[in-house]
Amino acid sequence: MSASPLDLKEVRADFPILRESIHGKRLAYLDNAATTQKPTSVMAEMDLYYVHSNANVHRAVHELAARATKSYEAARERIAQWINAPRDSIVFTRGTTESINLVARAYLQPILQPGDEVLVTTMEHHSNIVPWQLVGAKTVAAPINDAGELDIDAWRAMLNPRTKLVAVCHVSNALGTVNPIAEMISEAHARGIPVLIDDAQGIAHLRMDVAALDADFYAASAHKFYGPTGFGFLYAKREHLEAMTPLQGGGDMIDTVSFDGSTWNEVPYKFEAGTPDMAGAIGAATALEYLDSIGLDAIATHEHALLEYATPKMQAIKGLKLIGTAANKSGILSFVMDGAHPHDIGSILDQAGVAIRTGHHCTMPLMQRLCVPATARASLGLYNGTDDIDQLIDGLNMVNRLLG
C-alpha cells in the first residue's frame, strides 16, 4: 500500500476500544458500516457537558440552561457547516431511520395519491424502503448490474408522473457502491421530482455539499461518523420544512397552545418535540471536529488505498467471491465463500480477533437480486490499516482450512 496520509499510530491512540483484546488476539475492527468506534474527544465532550452544563435547553434563564442551549445550538451550526446547509434547515433526530420516517410521514403522506411511487434502487437499506411503504407509497426499485452498480438508464426510464420522490443511498452499505447522486438529482429535478439522499454510509468518507447538489432531503446518523448512537439529523430545503406539518406534538415544538388549537414553533423546532438529546448533539459535532482535525480528504485517500490493498488479497482466497465490485466504490468488502455460511465465517473470524458483520445487512431485496441469503462484510474506517487486512486474510485462510 502506498504511504498513507494518516499517522495510524496517532489516530489509533484516540480510540481506546481498539486496545481491547478479543479472545486473546488484537482487535481488527472491520465493522465500521454497522457502527464506528468513538474517539476520546467525543466521549470527553459528552462527559464535560454532563459535568459542567447539563440542563434542559431553550426553557430557562439560569446559567446552566444557557450553557446547554449554547452548546446544543452550536452543534446544529457545526453539523450544518459540514454539509454546507443553513443551520435552520437541520432537524435533529435519532438517526437516518427516523429522518427518513419523518420525511415519509410529514412530507410525503399528505401529498400522496393512490398509485403514487417512490423510486428507489435495488441496493437500498430497509430504512429507505419500509417508511415509504408504511405511508402507502409504491416502492419501485431501479435495477443494478452484477457488479452492484445502478443501471442509470433504466433508473431514468422509471421516472414518471407518478414518481413523487426519488430516494437513494449515496453509498450502499452492503456493496460499497457510490451512486451518481449529482446526476440523479439534476435528472429528477428536470422532471420536477424531489430527491432524498440517505447518506448513512457516505458522511464519514466523502465530502458532502447539499447546496451544490441541490438535494431536497438528506439523512445521516452520528454513530456512523464516530459520534454517539441514537443521534442524527435530517436536512431539508426550507420550503419543504415550512410545508411539512409536525409529526410529534409536545414541548418546544409549539408557538402557542390553547384548548381550541395550537400553533407551531418555527423550523426546525416544530419537528423537535420534547427534551432533545443535548449530549448526543454535542458528541456528533465533536465527531465532525475530530474528522476535520484529521481531514476528510486524507481519510478518503487512506481508506481507498486500503480498499485497493485488500481487494486483490481477498480475491486470491480460494472459493471467495466479492459481492459488489463497482468502479466507484467506498471501503466495503462484502463476500461469500464456497462451503462456508457467512455466520460461520463471522464466528471463525471473531475467534481470530476480527470483527466483521454477516447477514442480509438490512437489504433483503438486494440479497434476493444477488441470489444469496446473506454475505459476510468487512467495512473500513479511518483507524484501519494493512495489519487489520492481513489479520482478516489470515482468518479467511483459517475458514478455508476448517470448512473449505
Rounded Cα–Cα distance for residues 126 and 198 (Å)? 11
- Active-site annotation holder among 362, 364, 372, 398: 362
Nearer to ligand PLP, 200 or 333 (CB): 200
| Residue 363 in grid coordinates | 437489504
Nearer to ligand PLP, 135 or 169 (CB): 169
Nearer to ligand PLP, 69 or 379 (CB): 379
Only one of the segments 147-155, 176-184, 198-206, 243-251 lies at the binding site for ligand PLP (rule: CB under 6 A); that segment is: 198-206
Rounded Cα–Cα distance for residues 304 and 283 (Å)? 26
169 binds ligand PLP (CB under 6 A): yes
Question: Among candidates 96, 58, 25, which has minimal Cα distance to 348?
Answer: 25
Any alpha helices (H) in 117-202, and if so which ranges?
Answer: 130-134, 152-158, 181-190
DSSP 205: T
Q: Is the dihedral of CA 82, 88, 90, 94 positive or negative?
A: positive
Only one of the segments 89-97, 286-294, 295-303, 336-344 lies at the binding site for ligand PLP (rule: CB under 6 A); that segment is: 89-97
Binder of ligand PLP out of 37, 97, 122, 330 (CB under 6 A): 97
Nearer to ligand PLP, 254 or 367 (CB): 367
79 binds ligand PLP (CB under 6 A): no
Q: 114-145 burial string, b = 16+ CB within 10 Å, else e?
A: eebbbbbbbbbbebbbbbbeebebbbbbbebe
- Which H, E and C letters describe 246-270, residue by residue? CCCCCCCCEEEEECCEEEECCCCHH
| Residue 362 annotated in active site | yes
121 binds ligand PLP (CB under 6 A): no
200 binds ligand PLP (CB under 6 A): yes
CB of 294 to ligand PLP, least distance (A): 22
Rounded Cα–Cα distance for residues 338 and 343 (Å)? 13
Binder of ligand PLP out of 127, 330, 384, 391 (CB under 6 A): 127
Rounded Cα–Cα distance for residues 15 and 38 (Å)? 6
CB of 14 to ligand PLP, least distance (A): 22
69 binds ligand PLP (CB under 6 A): no
| Site residues (vs ligand PLP, CB under 6 A) | 95-97, 125, 127-128, 169, 173, 198, 200-201, 221
Which residues are tagged catalytic? 362
